[in-house]
Amino acid sequence: MNEPLAERVRPKTLEDYISQHHLVGEKGALTHQIKKGIIPSLILWGPPGTGKTTLATIIAEESKRPFYVLSAINSGVKDIREVIDKAKQAGGLFTTKNPILFIDEIHRFSKSQQDSLLGAVEKGWVTLIGATTENPSFEVIPALLSRCQVYILNAFGKEDLIHLLQRALEKDTFLKSKNITLTETEALLRLSGGDGRKLLNIFELIVNSEDSDTVEITDQLVLQKIQKNTVLYDKTGEQHYDIVSAFIKSIRGSDPNGAVYWLARMIEGGEDVKFIARRMLIAASEDIGLANPTALVMANTTFQAVTTIGYPESRIILSQCAVYLATSAKSNASYMAIGKAQQTVKQTGNLPVPLALRNAPTKLMKDLGYGEDYKYAHDFENNFVAAEFLPEEISGTSFYKPGKNPRERALSDFLKNRWKDKYDF
């Protein structure tokens, strides 16, 4: 039997479609439009194995429209134009039920390929349904995106996945010919990662690997047959940015468990060790800063170490640094200070450097007052003398405000002691 189980039990009607109730449930965003046959051009965005292709096929079937399918992996502009010509001949110009053009993995289309769709979509020759696992905001050109509605499909929940398994057992002729018992499903569900297709593929593999027609599905059997779970992680896609975002937010939120978990996700996904270390370098300054200056030293040492060592040993060093950063005191005072200073620069432009602060390497410069009245701090008690170091127009502006952590409280006391009324924190 060459056809995979996921294809054999693919739903053919809206009633058989599992999950995505927010789209096709009783009050779903697409339910009424599908029943009325008034389908806009749309982008279906969601993780793999969540029913994007199935939903597109059902929409075409329910609305009784011609259905054309292209895959972005092996289709070019020529293929697109041929389909559009067929769609026009099928009556797209003369009926409200214009053909549906389904493009799988539309995010893989180049800009020129996406451009070739614009006229047909705008003039109504076709209703475009694109499927993508990547964020359309980044992967679909704005002109095409503005002509489409975006609908998000969610990863399957536990109940949905169990429903998929039960439906397969009820509908598939091959599975019905065997005596299959679902004693335990936890391992199956966990390994699927919310991907319905992956769930059915694993299930079929396990059933086929057993010689007997009587198969009892247990967690032990599943883990025994499936040696390694492939982690969903696209180093160039949205998963990449979402997971590193979760990693940094866990560090910022002082949660070492979260930090190590998301670190493990990146490691198992084959992320570049230098990319992970660079992100920790940034976090050490942006989120910890002067609350613990050693954090930056630690992160920099980690970067140098993992650059030299690489996987698999570097995972230990990355973990050590992630835990250290997560459990460190936090401050974004330096980060906020440079942001505020940059904003002031943008607002005030190129203010002149006060004469006292200018360098005077020539006699002419000295005659013009460069460096005049500059007070050399080391000539005074405690190596300090009160002076103004900002342009006159922004004199007295405060950019750095120490955090409330112990180290920066000490800095606050130091500044108040030196500057008296100038620093009022």
Render each residue's pLDDT in the chain as its tens digit; 425 residues. 578 999 999 999 888 899 899 999 888 889 888 888 788 899 999 988 999 999 999 998 888 888 899 888 777 788 888 888 887 776 544 445 688 999 999 988 888 889 989 988 988 888 999 999 888 988 899 999 999 999 999 989 899 999 999 999 999 999 999 999 999 999 898 888 888 999 999 999 899 888 888 999 998 888 888 865 555 555 555 567 788 999 999 999 999 999 999 999 998 888 889 999 999 999 999 999 999 999 999 999 999 999 888 888 899 999 999 999 999 999 999 999 999 999 999 888 888 888 888 888 888 888 888 888 888 889 888 888 888 888 988 888 888 889 888 988 898 888 888 887 666 66
- Read off the DSSP letter of residue 42: E
| C-alpha to C-alpha distances, 412 to 14, 339, 340, 380, 420, nearest whole angstrom | 65, 20, 18, 21, 11
Dihedral sign computed on CA atoms, order 31, 37, 40, 46: positive
pLDDT at res. 77 = 83
| C-alpha to C-alpha distances, 71 to 64, 130, 132, nearest whole angstrom | 22, 10, 11
Q: Among 95, 13, 266, which Cα is nearest to 280's?
A: 266
pLDDT at res. 348 = 87
Reading the block at residue 310, the tokens are 């690489």
The enclosing H or E element of 130 equals strand 127-132
pLDDT at res. 92 = 46
Exposure string for 387-402, b = 16+ CB within 10 A, e = fewer: eeebeeeeeeeebbeb
pLDDT at res. 256 = 94
Report how far residue 160's alpha carbon sits from residue 144's, in angstroms, rounded to the nearest whole number: 32
Chain CA centroid to CA 210, Å: 39
- Read off the DSSP letter of residue 362: S
Would strands 127-132 and 100-104 be described as parallel, antiparallel, or unpaired? parallel
Contact present, 232 and 265 (Cβ < 8 Å) = no
The CA R_g of the chain, rounded to the nearest whole Å, is 31
Structural domains of the chain ordered from first start? 20-152 (3.40.50.300), 158-225 (1.10.8.60), 238-326 (1.20.272.10), 353-419 (1.10.3710)
pLDDT at res. 27 = 86
Exposure string for 116-151, b = 16+ CB within 10 A, e = fewer: bbeebbeeebbbbbbbbbbebeebbbeebbeebeeb
Global confidence as pTM: 0.64
Report how far residue 419's alpha carbon sits from residue 393's, in angstroms, rounded to the nearest whole number: 20
